[in-house]
């Protein structure tokens, strides 16, 4: 049985997505774990989200970040509030998800069974095709640290990933974090802004000897595009190229040259060959900005 006295804050980061946020909140209200509070952080939205969400959920704490602080900065606003208001655990949850009723209880149970567990991640499937897996834990091979990846991505869910196990990192799409781990390791790196902030946080936690766990009984439905592996946006390629290099430099410095080569060949040259010149340009810009020491927003 879970210790329901442990207070869990659920952070939903909203940016121009109030319809998704409403659906996510409604699914969270059905959670079987009894002791949780929802916190909506609005990341400087421009679509009227603040008015709509405040009117729809007057009982839910709403924080206006005042600007788009990125995934890392926006969620850190929520983390700080939760920790200041008695959170024992904080669930970082994408607002474009819905959750199974037992999703939180299952993760809390893992933290209760082992005090060295710092983070727990869910099994995440596609919202529009829940038979397909998006995340079933992650692989982070120190020898190829520049290319961490989701285990089970786009595989049919046949129960092959139904065992609780340690994982290479936990995706920020659904991440339950222990207060003691955050006190020891700190929060997400605001400077990364977007992408690789969850892998970086996981690596820092692991270095500090906290366990990262995958919980298959915590089921989350994510409204991610099924076109994984297709043409990425220029902005995405900028942040992934730049932040990959920061991630490797900080956590696996011996693999920096491998990260440079991976970014250049996979994100610059491949996009040039495919005629996606804007993507190639932004990936190259990301590499250059890393070399200049630039962080934060693109």
Question: If residue 13 lies in a helix (H) or strand (E), which one and from where to where?
Answer: strand 8-14
Residues 37 and 164 placed together within one structural domain of the fold: yes
Distance of alpha carbon 221 from alpha carbon 133, whole angstroms = 10
Average pLDDT of the segment spanning 21-44: 98
Residues 164 and 210 placed together within one structural domain of the fold: yes
From 219, 221, 26, select the one nearest 127 (Cα to Cα): 221
Distance of alpha carbon 20 from alpha carbon 287, whole angstroms = 33
Residue 270 lies in a domain: yes
Beta carbons of 27 and 99 less than 8 angstroms apart: yes
Chain centroid to CA 258: 24
Per-chain mean pLDDT for the chain: 95
Beta carbons of 71 and 173 less than 8 angstroms apart: no
pLDDT of residue 31: 98
Which of 193-197, 225-229, 240-244, 255-259 is predicted with the least confidence, judged by mean pLDDT? 225-229
pLDDT at 57 over 80: yes
Residues 197 and 238 placed together within one structural domain of the fold: no
pLDDT of residue 225: 57
pLDDT of residue 1: 40
Residue 64 lies in a domain: yes
Residue 1 lies in a domain: no
pLDDT of residue 224: 84
Residues 279 and 145 placed together within one structural domain of the fold: no
pLDDT of residue 199: 98
* Model pLDDT for residues 97-154, shown as the tens digit of each residue: 999 999 999 999 999 989 999 999 999 999 999 999 999 999 999 999 999 999 999 9
Residues 239 and 217 placed together within one structural domain of the fold: no
Domain edge (last residue) among 173, 195, 222: 222
Per the structure, the complete domain to which residue 271 belongs is given by 234-291
Domain edge (last residue) among 222, 249, 280: 222
Residues 82 and 194 placed together within one structural domain of the fold: yes
Domain edge (last residue) among 195, 222, 249: 222
Residues 238 and 183 placed together within one structural domain of the fold: no
Residues 279 and 190 placed together within one structural domain of the fold: no
Provide the pairing of β-strand 117-126 with 211-222: parallel
Please write down the HEC assignment for all residues of 24-70: HHHHHCCCCCCCEEEEEEECCCCCCHHHHHHHHCCCCEEEECCCCCH
* Model pLDDT for residues 221-254, shown as the tens digit of each residue: 999 854 333 447 899 999 999 999 999 999 999 9
pLDDT at 202 over 80: yes
* Helix residue ranges per DSSP H, the chain: 18-28, 49-56, 70-84, 103-113, 179-185, 197-207, 234-251, 256-262, 270-273, 277-291
Residue 297 lies in a domain: no
Residue 298 lies in a domain: no
Total domain count for the chain? 2
Confidence label for 41 from pLDDT (cuts 50, 70 and 90): very high
Looking up residue 125, the CATH number of its domain turns out to be 3.90.550.60
Neighbour tally for 224: CB within 10 Å = 18
């Amino acid at each position: 049985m879970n210790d329901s006295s442990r207070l869990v804050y659920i952070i939903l980061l909203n940016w121009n997505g109030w319809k998704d946020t409403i659906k996510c909140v409604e699914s969270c209200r059905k959670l079987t774990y009894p002791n949780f509070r929802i916190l909506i952080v609005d990341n400087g939205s421009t679509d009227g989200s603040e008015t709509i969400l405040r009117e729809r959920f007057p009982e839910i704490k709403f924080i206006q970040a005042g600007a788009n602080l990125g995934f890392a900065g926006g969620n850190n606003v929520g983390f700080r509030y939760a920790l200041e208001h008695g959170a024992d655990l904080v669930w970082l949850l994408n607002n474009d998800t819905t959750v199974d009723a037992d999703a939180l209880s299952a993760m809390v149970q893992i933290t209760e069974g082992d005090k060295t567990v710092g983070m727990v991640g869910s099994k995440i499937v596609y919202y529009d095709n829940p038979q397909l897996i998006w995340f079933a834990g992650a692989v982070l091979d120190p020898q190829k640290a520049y290319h961490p990846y989701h285990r089970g991505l786009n595989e049919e869910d046949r129960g092959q990933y139904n065992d609780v196990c340690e994982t290479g990192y936990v995706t920020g799409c659904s991440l339950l974090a222990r207060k003691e781990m955050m006190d020891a390791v700190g929060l997400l790196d605001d400077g990364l802004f977007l992408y690789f902030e969850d892998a970086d946080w996981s690596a820092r936690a692991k270095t500090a000897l906290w366990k990262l766990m995958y919980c298959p009984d915590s089921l989350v439905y994510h409204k991610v595009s099924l076109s994984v592996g297709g043409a990425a946006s220029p902005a995405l390629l900028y942040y992934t190229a730049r932040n990959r290099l920061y991630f490797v430099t900080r956590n696996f410095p011996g693999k920096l040259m491998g990260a440079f080569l991976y970014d250049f060949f996979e994100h610059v040259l491949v996009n040039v060959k495919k005629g996606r010149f804007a993507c190639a340009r932004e990936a190259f810009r990301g590499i250059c900005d890393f070399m200049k020491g630039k962080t934060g927003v693109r």
